[in-house]
């Protein structure tokens, strides 16, 4: 793959090298990293401390580091799109062909996620939505808008409308039949979960009473993907601004998004609820994502410190395959087969070693496949 130097930006095929590293870092936490950190905290006797709490999802309201994994992945899917779209247009691919590719990619992601919901086990109450379905649909709608709407100001207005509209839906619409005095953001009072139950009934997460990746919560997912696309367009743009200055702009947008999240929470009364993808949650996740993107781009692409990224690159480059291997239980089976004896031998540190070796198995397989040129491209 050819390398070029444009305005001080070192790229590979017009793709910033930091994106795969950041995506791999994000995947690290769900492929063993969170378990490793939790195990270390338990071994040190601080399993109830702040750090350990960051390695698991909050019950309902609030935000932990573990809650940022999913939205960061969706955000990065948005960041990659201007690079992919520019490459396709440079090769002379027509808009209609690109649109077909968007639809196909969305459908494949939806079907892959759908396959994990119990339908292949012929369960009558299979789950309709899920992580990959939400990513596919959010990215698909956002990519379609980005493809056909040339004026970025119009896209910014569209993202704002989606956020404001979804806020109004959750804040002012109480679920029909909700208990007297119920909060419109509670499990039993929110309109989104009521719509889920009304439209696809039992085809939700069993026993939860709500769908954490609801079809009706797509507006904020689409807005987050669009935010990622704006960040990607900034980084891809060939102008007089060096990459370091673009990192400063990304940090400025991260601060602005964080301030907007605070206004949403404190002034508009919109709490952070990941399972509803509330506006304050998406703005907070966007702030985190923008900051992390700026940090990785600065370290990897501006300072040129790349050797350490080998710890995350193989997983970042094959992230969908990593997720599928994790969801099918392949990685856990291999980890137990290879390391269960060792993990049991170290006693108190067994949890930490289990997490680390789980990631090691994932990394090793994807590193080998990468060396052979095997990537799951969707």
* The Cα angle at residue 311 between residues 75 and 135, in degrees rounded to 5: 20
- The DSSP H or E segment spanning 224 is helix 218-236
- In the chain, DSSP assigns E strands to 3-6, 9-12, 15-16
Q: Distance between CA atoms of 196 and 95, rounded to whole angstroms?
A: 34
Write out the chain's pLDDT in tens, 378 residues. Answer: 333 333 333 444 455 789 999 999 999 999 999 999 999 999 999 989 999 999 999 999 999 999 999 999 999 999 999 999 999 999 999 999 999 999 999 999 999 988 888 777 777 778 889 999 999 999 999 999 999 998 999 999 999 999 999 999 999 999 999 998 899 999 999 999 999 999 987 787 767 778 899 999 999 999 999 999 999 999 998 765 678 899 999 999 999 999 999 999 999 999 999 999 999 999 999 999 999 999 999 999 999 999 999 999 999 999 999 999 888 888 889 988 988 888 888 888 889 999 999 999 999 999 999 998 888 876
Q: How many C-alpha atoms does 246 have within 13 Å on its Cβ side?
A: 25
Q: What per-residue confidence (pLDDT) applies to 111?
A: 92
Q: What's the pLDDT at 125? A: 79
- Class of residue 241 by CB neighbours under 10 A (exposed 0-12, middle 13-18, buried 19+): middle
Verdict on whether the full-model pTM lies above 0.95: no
What is the rounded distance in angstroms from the CA atom of residue 360 to the CA atom of residue 185? 40
Which pLDDT value is given to residue 240? 52
Backbone angles phi, psi at 149, to 5 degrees: -100, 110
Pairwise CA distance, residues 325 & 71, whole Å: 20
């Amino acid at each position: 793959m050819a390398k070029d130097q444009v305005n001080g930006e070192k790229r590979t095929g017009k793709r910033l090298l930091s994106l795969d590293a950041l995506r791999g870092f994000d995947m690290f936490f769900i492929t063993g990293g969170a378990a490793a950190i939790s195990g270390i905290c338990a071994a040190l006797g601080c399993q109830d401390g702040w750090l350990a709490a960051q390695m698991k999802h909050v019950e309902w309201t609030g935000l932990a580091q573990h809650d940022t994994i999913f939205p960061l992945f969706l955000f990065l899917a948005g960041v990659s799109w201007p690079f992919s779209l520019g490459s396709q247009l440079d090769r002379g691919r027509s808009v209609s062909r690109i649109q077909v590719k968007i639809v196909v990619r969305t459908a494949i992601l939806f079907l892959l996620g759908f396959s994990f919901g119990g339908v292949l086990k012929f369960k009558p109450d299979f789950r309709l939505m899920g992580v990959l379905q939400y990513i596919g649909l959010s990215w698909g709608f956002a990519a379609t808008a980005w493809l056909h709407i040339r004026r970025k100001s119009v896209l910014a207005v569209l993202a704002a409308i989606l956020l404001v509209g979804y806020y109004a839906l959750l804040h002012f619409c109480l679920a029909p039949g909700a208990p007297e005095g119920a909060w419109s953001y509670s499990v039993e009072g929110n309109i989104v979960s009521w719509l889920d139950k009304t439209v696809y009934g039992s085809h939700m997460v069993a026993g939860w009473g709500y769908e954490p990746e609801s079809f009706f919560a797509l507006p904020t997912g689409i807005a987050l993907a669009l935010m990622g696309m704006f960040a990607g367009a900034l980084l891809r743009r060939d102008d007089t601004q060096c990459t370091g200055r673009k990192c400063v702009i990304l940090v400025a947008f991260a601060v602005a998004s964080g301030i907007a999240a605070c206004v949403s929470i404190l002034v508009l009364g919109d709490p952070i609820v990941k399972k509803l993808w509330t506006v304050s949650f998406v703005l907070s996740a966007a702030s985190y994502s923008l900051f992390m993107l700026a940090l990785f781009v600065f370290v990897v692409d501006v300072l040129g410190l790349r050797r350490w990224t080998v710890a995350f690159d193989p997983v970042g480059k094959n992230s969908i395959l990593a997720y599928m291997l994790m969801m099918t239980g392949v990685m856990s089976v291999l980890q137990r087969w290879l390391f269960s004896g060792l993990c049991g031998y170290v006693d108190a540190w067994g949890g930490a070693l289990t997490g680390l070796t789980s990631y090691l198995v994932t990394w090793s397989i994807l590193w080998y496949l990468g060396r052979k040129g095997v990537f799951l491209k969707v």
